[in-house]
């Protein structure tokens, strides 16, 4: 064997060791990719019920909001009716009450004017 053959054998041995050292991380990387694939499969299997439940929850929330909207409209109508009733009551009863109060004040003032001696007297 010549010197070139020995150098070729050494180079081949170093190359084989290098390939062996590079194969270990590649095998580990393959295992990581397999585990990642399994994790993604499990996540996609588990997410379907969650999405179904979320859809159901959103649908029920929308129904409740529709009910609240109906209640809000009813309250707005009742508020408008009460406001109209108060305005009608104030217009119907308020005017005569103001006139009655003015009349009673005038009568009291007239009685006080009619009795000047009553002011000076102590009770």
Q: What is the pLDDT of residues 71-115, one digit of tens each?
A: 999 999 999 999 999 888 888 887 787 888 888 888 888 888 766
pLDDT in tens, 25-64: 999 999 999 999 999 998 888 888 899 999 999 999 999 9
Q: Measured between alpha carbons, how far is 68 from 64 in angstroms, rounded to an integer?
A: 6
> Measuring CA to CA, how many Å separate 56 from each of 52, 60, 65, 70, 81?
6, 6, 14, 21, 38
Distances (CA, A) of 108 to 26, 75, 97, 104: 111, 46, 16, 6
At 65, is the pLDDT very low, low, confident or very high (cuts 50, 70, 90)?
Answer: very high
CA distance linking residue 81 with residue 89, whole number of Å:
12
Using DSSP's 3-state secondary structure scheme, residue 66 falls into helix
| Angle, CA 63 vertex, CA 60 and CA 68 arms, to 5° | 125
* Percent of the chain clearing pLDDT 70 (strictly above): 92
What is the structure's pLDDT at 120?
A: 53
* Confidence (pTM): 0.43
Domain map (residue ranges) of the chain? 3-117
């Amino acid at each position: 064997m010549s010197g070139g053959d020995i150098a070729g054998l050494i180079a081949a041995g170093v190359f084989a060791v290098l390939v062996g050292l590079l194969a270990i991380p590649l095998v580990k990387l393959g295992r990581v990719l397999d585990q990642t694939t399994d994790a993604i499969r499990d996540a996609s299997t588990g997410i379907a019920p969650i999405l179904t439940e979320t859809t159901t929850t959103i649908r029920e929330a929308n129904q409740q909001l529709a009910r609240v909207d109906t209640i809000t409209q009813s309250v707005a109508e009742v508020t408008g009716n009460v406001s109209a009733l108060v305005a009608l009551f104030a217009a119907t009863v308020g005017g005569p009450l103001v006139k009655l109060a003015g009349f009673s004040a005038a009568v009291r003032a007239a009685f006080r004017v009619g009795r000047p001696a009553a002011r000076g007297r102590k009770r």
